[in-house]
Amino acid sequence: MKIAPSILSANFLYLADQIKQIESEVEYLHIDIMDGHFVENLSFGPMIVSAVRQISKLKFDCHLMVQNPTNYIEKLKHAGADIVGVQVESTQHIHRLIDQIHQLDMQAEVVINPGTPITLIEPLLDEVDSILVMTVDPGAGGQKMITKCLKKVVTLNELREMNAFHYRIEIDGGVNAETIALAAKAGVDVAVAGSYVFGSTNPQLQIQKLMEESQIDEI
C-alpha cells in the first residue's frame, strides 16, 4: 500500500518544510481543493498547487470538492497536477470531465462520498485511473473513519478482478495506525493520511508506522 499525505492537515506557515520532511517516504501528495460551496470549508486552489510544484516532484493527487469542477481542470494542468479527482456528486457530466482530464494528459479519479453507492459509478470503471472512496464526509480533517465504507473497497476489488479493470483504489478519511490495517485487509492501494501524519512532530515517522501496520498479515 502507498501513503498519500494530505497537506490539508499541514502547518501552512511551514508548508514547504513539512513537504520536504515526508518527500523521501512517499510517491503521492494529496491536495484538497475546496470552494466553500460543495463543502463548507475553503482550502487550496490552483495557485497553491503551482507554488508547491516548484518545491516538490511528488505526484500531485488533487481532489476537487467544488460545485463547478469544469472550471478547475485546465488550471490544475497548468499548475502541475498529475491526478485530478472529481466528486461524482458534483456534476451531471462526469464522463465529459474524465475525458477532459485525459485529454490534458492527467490521470482521472472519480470520488464517492460515504453515502454514495458504487452502482452510481459502475459505468465509469473502465474509464478511470483511480477511484477515491471517502471514508468520512468530505470537507474537514481529523474525522473518525466510517469503517463500513471499506465494504465498497472490497466490492471494487472484486469488480476489478472480474473485469480486468486497472484502476487504483484509494481511501481518504480517518486513516491512522489502527484503521490502516483494516484498509489493507479490504484491498486499498493508496491511503490518504492527514492529521495522523502532519499532526505529529515527526511526520516521517508517522508514515513509516502506517507502512508497517499496513503490512501486517492476517493471523
Q: Which of 137, 172, 189, 217 is catalytic?
A: 172
Binding residues: 6, 30, 32, 63, 139-142, 172-174, 194-195
Give yes or no: 35 in active site: no
**Which single residue is written with the C-alpha cell 490518504?**
192
Give yes or no: 172 in active site: yes
Q: Strand, coil or helix: what is 129?
A: coil
Binding residues for a divalent metal cation: 30, 32, 63, 172
Q: Which of 32, 35, 61, 189 is catalytic?
A: 32
Q: Which helix (H) or strand (E) holds 33?
A: strand 28-34
Residues 50, 60: Cα–Cα separation, whole Å: 10
CA distances from 80 to 2, 49, 159, 170, 191 (A): 21, 7, 32, 21, 21
Write the DSSP string, 81-94: -SEEEEEGGG-S-H
Binding residues for substrate: 6, 63, 139-142, 172-174, 194-195
The answer to whether 61 and 30 are in contact (CB under 8 A) is yes
Q: Which three cell numbers stand for residue 203?
A: 511526520
Single-letter amino acid code for the residue at 103: Q
- Catalytic residues, by residue number, are 32, 172
